[in-house]
Amino acid sequence: MSTGQEKTIDVDKLLKNKLKSVSTGSLEDAISKVVSEMVGEDYKCTIGEVKYTLFSGADFHVKIELTYNPEQ
């Protein structure tokens, strides 16, 4: 059944991948911060090769490791 309020898809918006403008370092820092706050320990994040996909997506490998700080 049609409700009469069908949405149109903005193809130009889908094809402009705004993720390309976000630095990998910024993503790593943000993920590290969130994980560290959730767990209560200092973690670091490393992002592997980023492959941008069609329709504004990205595929990448995320590695999260406990940061060793001997002073804690």
Q: Residue 19's pLDDT is what?
A: 86
pLDDT for 30 equals 97
The pLDDT tens digits of the residues spanning 26-56 come to: 999 999 999 999 999 999 999 999 999 877 8
CB 47 within 8 A of CB 24: yes
**Domain residue ranges in the chain:** 11-66
Q: Answer with the residue of higher pLDDT: 30 or 7.
A: 30
Residues 6+ apart with CB under 8 A from 27: 45, 47
pLDDT at 5: 72
